Amino acid sequence: MTDVSIKISHKSYLSPDAEEQKTVIKNLDISLKSGEFVCLVGPSGCGKTTLLNTLSGLDKKYQGSINFGENDIQANIGYVFQNPRLLPWRTVRENLALATNASDDVLEPLLELMKLTDVQNSYPEQLSLGMSRRVAIIRAFAVDPELLLMDEPFVSLDPPTARQVRQLLIELWTNRPHTILFVTHNLREAIALADRLIFLSASPMSVVTEIPVPIARNQRLNESEIESFRAKIFSDFPEIASLV
Amino acid sequence: MDTSLHPQKLSVLSVLIFFGLWQSLAMLIHSNTFPLPIVVLDVLWQEISNGQLPYHLGITLIRLAISFTISMIIGCAIGILLGQYKQLNAFFDNWLVIFLNIPALVTIILCYVWFGLIETAAILAVVINKVPNVVVTIREGARTLDQDLMEMADCYRFGKWKTFLHVVWPQLHPFVMAAARSGLALIWKIILVVELLGRSNGMGYQLHLFFQLFDVASILAYTIAFVSVIQIIELFILKPLDQKALRWRR
């Protein structure tokens, strides 16, 4: 694994209605340490998904550089989209094998860890949303990515299921540490997961502030710890209240 | 009390009523130009026994298979390209409209005039008639490809062939099946005209012969044989293909 450096000086797109270039990202500078879990927190529509698409190589039209260690070549990226994006006509196992080319030795422990062994031969339509999202997480981990992007992967899950999948994600990440960039607008979720929080401004997006999360990993299930740190952030950085 | 009939029983009943109506009408009209079903079935059996029907039906089915395969391959390829590339579609859209509106008879006559009364001209005439229909159907499918899945394939580096096989083709399946079904129905009708105008064998040639003799019983016997074969293709090839491809649906 390598450190990741993201410097995007300018990213815009042609707005379909206004027929003019709209600047989405301006002077964005983010560095990720190898194996770090970083949450990006910002208001809806600020350009978080655009940033992830840029990092994943899906969108190549930007000014700036994205470096993985010494290289500026496209690294191996895992991407957990907002929707699981599984092929409905392939079973869970086939979806994983197609996307990752991973061997059984890699996939089976992952399926077991995410409690999906029993449904590996089911089709996505036969799974609950929570299960589908777990499959999408396995897919991203199985490519052994140098950077793992997660775009609000627990949105629209009910709170108990979201909590369960978050817990499984942390177990997986502890077992197989990867550098993760996790997008959310849920500050409690971000505190529960991240080593460091990066707050982003509204469009055009740039970094407002970065805050390390000092809560020990074994204390992250303690909701009072999460709440007290959340209150501390709002008191120390009042400008953040408008971003979450 | 539930008085509704099982669909299969209903289907058998409808066929029996059809033949009953035919029998009644034929008895009422009492003419050689409207034979009784039993007469047609007798002719059908004789034609099968003397080998004439299997020979001509076989020839027509070979022509159908060749022209159907060529039309589907070319039509699918062009349809996908036009559905995916807007500029290409804008350029060729008018061509498509022109080819869709050229009467089948014109294409057949032109092919025979330009290339002679040969097998290639017959196949080409059918293909030219069918390809635009396939293109239009497949183009609609290619326009509605799920971009989220395409992005997923791109992000996970599927590559072009894997993306086509596992992401694009399954999405096009309903459109391909629709094009195949309408294609079969259209192609066999065109083939009969092609054979009638310029071949010395096949169902169309035979029907032309029977027409000259006013032999309606033979015309109906050949029609029953051909419709039966098309039904068998639907039941034993197209439906199983459909079921296999859509097994993932709840």
pLDDT class for A196, splitting at 50, 70, 90? very high
Q: Which two tokens stand for residue A91?
A: 């079973």
One CATH from 3.40.50.2300, 3.40.50.300, 1.10.3720.10, 3.40.50.261 for A4-76+177-243 = 3.40.50.300
Delimit the domains of chain A by residue range.
4-76+177-243
Residue whose pair of structure tokens reads 């009939």 in the numeric block: B5
For residues A110 and A143, the answer to whether their CB atoms sit within 8 Å is no
pLDDT of residue B18: 92
Which domains occur in chain B, in start order?
A: 59-245 (1.10.3720.10)
Query: A74, A76, A89: which to substitute to probe chain B, counting the most B Cβ within 10 Å?
Result: A89
The first and second tokens of residue A9, run together, are: 């000086």
The answer for A222, left when phi > 0, alpha when psi is -120 to 50, beta otherwise, is beta
Q: Which of A98, A99, A125 lies at the smallest CB-CB distance from B248?
A: A125
Strand pairing category for A207-212 and A196-200: antiparallel
Spatial CB neighbours of B158, under 8 Å, sequence gap ≥ 6: A98, A99, B166, B167
Cβ separation B158–A98 shorter than 8 A? yes
On the CB side of B128, CA atoms within 13 Å amount to 22
The three-state secondary structure class of B171 is helix
**Cβ density class A132-148: b for 16+ within 10 Å, e for less:** bbbbbbbbbbbbebbbb
For chain A, give the mean pLDDT: 88
**In angstroms, what separates the C-alpha of B172 from chain A's closest C-alpha?**
12
- The C-alpha of B241 sits at a distance from chain A's nearest C-alpha, in angstroms, of 14
3-state DSSP assignment of residue A197: strand
- A201-213 average pLDDT score: 90
Q: How many CB atoms lie within 10 A of CB B54?
A: 13
Strand stretches in chain A, DSSP E: 4-14, 21-32, 37-41, 63-68, 77-80, 147-151, 180-184, 196-200, 207-212
A59 vs B85: CA distance, rounded Å: 19
What span, in angstroms and rounded, lies between the C-alpha atoms of B204 and B103?
18
Model confidence at A161: pLDDT above 90: no
- Picking from B145, B147, B151, B155 by the largest number of A CB atoms within 10 A of its own CB, the best residue to mutate is B155
Among the listed residues A193, A139, B248, the one whose alpha carbon sits nearest the alpha carbon of residue A131: A139
For residue A233 the two structure tokens come to 């952030």
CB within 8 Å: B149 and A87:
yes
Report pLDDT for A202: 86
Cβ atoms of residues B62 and B191 within 8 Å:
no
| Cis, bond preceding B170 (omega within 30 deg of 0) | no
- Please state, in angstroms and rounded to a whole number, the distance separating the CA atoms of residues B91 and B78: 13
Confidence at residue B122, expressed as pLDDT on a 0 to 100 scale: 93
Nearest chain B residue to A80 by CA distance is B152
Q: Under a CB-based contact definition with an 8 Å cutoff, are residues B133 and B179 in contact?
A: yes
- pLDDT at position A157, please? 83
A4 pLDDT above the threshold of 70:
yes
Chain B residues with CB-CB distance to A88 below 8 A: 248-249
**Closest-CA distance of chain A to residue B65, Å:** 29
The reported pLDDT for the residue numbered B1 is 53
The residues pairing with A207 across neighbouring beta strands, listed in sequence order, are A200
Q: What is the pLDDT of residue B71?
A: 96
Subunit contact B152:A123, Cβ cutoff 8 A: no
- Say what the pLDDT of residue B225 is: 93
Nearest to B126 by CA among B102, B108, B138: B108
A–B: how many Cβ contacts below 8 A?
A: 45
Kind of pairing between the strands at A147-151 and A77-80: parallel
Q: Which pLDDT band holds residue A18 (cuts at 50, 70, 90)? A: low
Tell me the residue type at B46: Q
A144: left (phi over 0), alpha (psi -120 to 50) or beta: left
Q: What is the per-residue pLDDT across A113-147, written as a single tens digit (0 to 9) for each?
A: 888 999 999 999 999 998 999 999 999 999 888 89
Strands (E), A126-190: 147-151, 180-184
| Residue carrying the six token digits 């009390």 | B1
- Partners of A63 in the beta sheet? A10
**The predicted structure's pLDDT at residue B118:** 93
Res A16 pLDDT > 80 = no
Which tens digits make up the pLDDT trace of A64-118?
888 887 655 567 889 999 999 999 999 999 999 999 988 888 899 999 988 899 9
Structure tokens at A132: 């589908």
Cα→Cα distances B20→A88, B16, B24, B31, Å: 47, 6, 6, 17
Block mean pLDDT (10 aa), chain B, length 250: 73 90 92 90 95 95 95 96 94 94 94 94 95 96 94 93 95 93 88 92 94 94 91 88 79
Nearest to A81 among B152, B158, B162 (CB): B152
